[in-house]
Amino acid sequence: SEFLFAIISQGPLQLPAWIRMGLWRSKARLECFGGVEAKRISLSEQMASVPLNPLDVRGDLLLYDLISMPPSSLVDHARLRTEWLQADIAGTDWLLPAGMGYTFP
């Protein structure tokens, strides 16, 4: 199976080819599509391009599909009212909520 995600960084990163993730520490191969400059979009209602952890998002979640993955479920096709980061990666337009941060309940 495949899972797409984005890494937001202030500078270049050296990422490993393989990582362990999740509750069972499954091994996953990383494919990087390159780094790009993201532009900021002002407050608006948009749909995020990737699944999100709702605890990490600052905007108002308006509509979403729930991916039940205890201990922390994700939301997919999430429509939010917030500020956004937009980037063109490998010919695909990506939208991510601006100001996300790791939150632990």
Tell me the pLDDT of the chain (105 aa) as tens digits.
Answer: 777 777 888 888 889 999 988 777 889 899 887 778 889 999 999 999 999 999 999 888 999 999 998 878 999 999 999 999 999 888 889 999 999 988 876
pLDDT at 44: 95
pLDDT at 96: 93
> Buried b vs exposed e over 7-44: b needs ≥16 C-beta within 10 Å?
eeeeeeeeeeeeeeeeeeeeeeeeeeeeeeebeeeeee
pLDDT at 46: 96
What's the pTM value of the predicted model, to 2 decimals?
Answer: 0.77
